[in-house]
Amino acid sequence: MYICVCHGVTDLHIDQAVTEGASCMRDLRENLKVATQCGRCASCARDQLHSSLQQCAKSHARADARQQNNITPLTQKIAATASLTASDNLQLAGT
């Protein structure tokens, strides 16, 4: 959907800008020239910016959760290996 007709900016352009680090209207004005001509798109662009930021935050939260799930089993494997080694050392020492 077109957000800024003057500069041909769509919601996808704003999503992409947010993915690349845009976080405020100033960023959109500088990068996409949104709301720099007639200004009628400012409100819609702001709404789209907030929506894109929320989607980006949710996406990062899911990625963080996935990353933590991948780290936990490895941590448990290391802990299991360490305790097995300590137990073996005790047996080797004759206790």
Binding residues vs ligand FES (CB under 6 A) = 4-7, 34-41
Q: How far apart are CA 56 and CA 9, in angstroms?
A: 19
Q: Closest CB to ligand FES among 18 and 34?
A: 34
Q: How far apart are CA 65 and CA 41, in angstroms?
A: 36
Q: Report in angstroms how near the CB of residue 23 gets to ligand FES at its nearest.
A: 19
Q: Closest CB to ligand FES among 39 and 72?
A: 39
Q: Closest CB to ligand FES among 18 and 45?
A: 45
Q: How far apart are CA 49 and CA 41, in angstroms?
A: 12
